[in-house]
A and B are shown apart, each in its own frame.
Chain A
Amino acid sequence: MTQYVNEQDVRAIAEYTRIGLTDEEVAQMTIDLNSIIEGLKPITEYDLEGVEPTFHPIGSLSNVMRDDVVTEGFTQEVALENAPHKQDGCFLIPSILGEGGDR
């Protein structure tokens, strides 16, 4: 079977998608992805010269507009209801530039 991705690629994808994988999981994921990508082969073998893409099933419709009227949305309180950590009406996150202070 063609190898489309190797373990190094899989580690790079995992890092990009923010998913941590153990060495064993990297090995299994490499096998799985190669097997799935192999199954996608028909798409690469089609003669699609001159065929326009359809990005959306209802692609032919025009844009949807509404009147510019302010309507009620979530209150700040509701928007924060499911936040794991919050403070003073804001989402609270740890430091974004490496080691930071306490929460």
Chain B
Amino acid sequence: MAVERDLWRLSAAELQRGLLAKEFSAKEITESALGRIAQADPEIHAFLELTEKAAYKQAARIDEALSQGTARECGPLFGVPIAFKDNMNLEGTHTTCASRMLENYVSPYTATCVARAIGAGGIPLGKLNMDEFAFGSSTETSAFGKTLNPWDRERVPGGSSGGSAAAVASGMACVALGSDTGGSIRQPGAFCGAIGVKPTYGVVSRYGVVAFGSSLDQVGPFARTVHDAACTLNAIAGRDPLDCTSQESTVDFTANLAEGVRGMKVGIVPAFMEAKGLSPEVRHKVEEAAANLAAMGAEIVEVALPNAQAAMSAYYVLGPCEAFSNLARFDSVRYGYCDPGHKDLGSQYEASRTIGFGSEARRRIMLGSYLLSSGVYNTYYYPAQQVRTLITRDYNEAFGKVSCILAPVAPRTAFKFGEIADPAEMYLTDMFTISINIAGNGGMSMPVGPGEETHLPIGVQLIAPAFHDELMLRAAAALETVYGPAPIAPDFDGLNDNAKAGE
């Protein structure tokens, strides 16, 4: 059957409707997605590895189920092309974390979130670029080359899940998984104009996802429609005996998307809106989104998060401390880079870790080591955990008054490569996202159109109470009725149009 449409353009819901109506097959979806990647990825460099064989195998499974009339039983992602951040193990693929340290590592097992996505019928396309070990906000620290922002290839896609955001925003993947320790799903979502969801800590299992900050890390989806994001979350959420922080999930995240926001109390944090460094165009978009929610019947309420300004420093204590501990496992003995020719173990350790880790990874390991050292611990680490108590209290109090909070995601739109060289300045791009990881509740980025000044995508952040992620998705779905689904970046929207396809 000839495929008249560019299937890669379609949302998960559209793909599934078409499959059930026998308009096209899962094999044709796979061909379209892989063809799309072959065309667009040389311009973007979002993928580090493709999994064509696994994709076609899965497509055959879906097509078989379709012919049996059992496609829906495959799961909520049946026939949906999906790609995974390269810190997620998928058996038989390289899982590099975009680091020389793991360049030759081949996963002997599959992460729970990946297994669930594929088990739910997702068609696995491959593995996506990221900041090395997720340390960064621009994907520039990848050891395998930077990913380009599909909206402007002179700019960063954000990070650390920059490959995931860019793949979805350029139409290469219908949905993608990323991970978020301080903003690593939401900020690239905002920079690339994609929906990015960091669920509440405990919603998705991290088993098989290479650990960065274990008390902060959470896995979540990227998508171009709120429904697709919710659908992906349905597939991956829930208790996993292999990650004791994961919780039972009984919520259908797609169930109340159409309910609207009438009567919903949505919080605005005045201190965020007046924050130093927030660009006027981002501020304007957040205010506009608030006005739109109000017009749809939501009540906008001012709430205070008085301790949120301490989140930044708490994060840059807790994150590096946990990273230092997690990265101690790279010992050049069991897996990972091993520098050849050493006669004693000590020199092999040092040479392997020196060559294997990039500069940001080294910086965070050394910072974490310093902060946890005797005499320093009581000055930073312990107070940071006390601050976490205060921030959690702030959110609990705010969520006593409102169902979700509306805030900026990033203080500005995507910056140019090399524009921010000072690590301390780079850290500021996560100023509005970090307190959510510290407290553990859910947050997401919802694209609300380009900024009036830079004409680049802007995302607003919706923040939900812990284990009530459905509330932010519902508010996002309401905004989607105003702003529409996340568009494919203009330069890539027409790449495969009929005129060109005929050439």
Contact = CB atoms under 8 A, between A and B. Distances in A.
A58 B202 contact: yes
A93 B245 CA distance: 35
Contacts of A95: 343-345
Nearest to A53: B385
Given A33-B363, A82-B106, A55 B369 contact: no
A73 B314 CA distance: 37
What is the size category of the interface that chain A forms with chain B?
35 or more
B351 A48 contact: no
A70 interface: no
Given A84-B338, A93-B348, A43 B108 contact: no
Given A19-B357, A40-B317, A43-B380, A100 B343 contact: yes
B202 A57 contact: yes
Interface residues of B, number: 66
A93 B333 contact: yes
Q: Per DSSP, are chain A's interface residues mostly helix, strand or loop, or mixed?
A: loop
A17 B324 contact: yes
A65 B372 CA distance: 30
B389 A54 contact: yes
A45 B382 CA distance: 13
A44 B309 contact: no
A43 B371 CA distance: 12
A46 B310 contact: yes
B103 to A, nearest CB: 11
Given A18-B350, A84-B332, A94 B367 contact: no
Interface in B80-129: 104-106, 108-109
A66 to B, nearest CB: 6
Contacts of A46: 310, 383, 386-387, 390
A44 B384 CA distance: 9
A42 B309 CA distance: 9
A42 B310 contact: yes
A81 B313 contact: no
Contact of A17 (B317, B365, B384): B365
Contacts of A10: 366
Interface string A54-77: 111110000010100000001000
Interface of B: 104-106, 108-109, 201-202, 215, 241, 244-245, 247, 309-310, 312-314, 316-317, 324, 332-338, 342-346, 348-351, 353-354, 357, 362-363, 365-367, 369-370, 373, 379-380, 382-390, 392, 422-424, 427, 439-440, 466
Given A39-B313, A53-B385, A57-B201, 10 more contacts: A29-B362, A32-B363, A35-B422, A43-B380, A52-B389, A55-B215, A79-B108, A81-B106, A91-B333, A100-B344
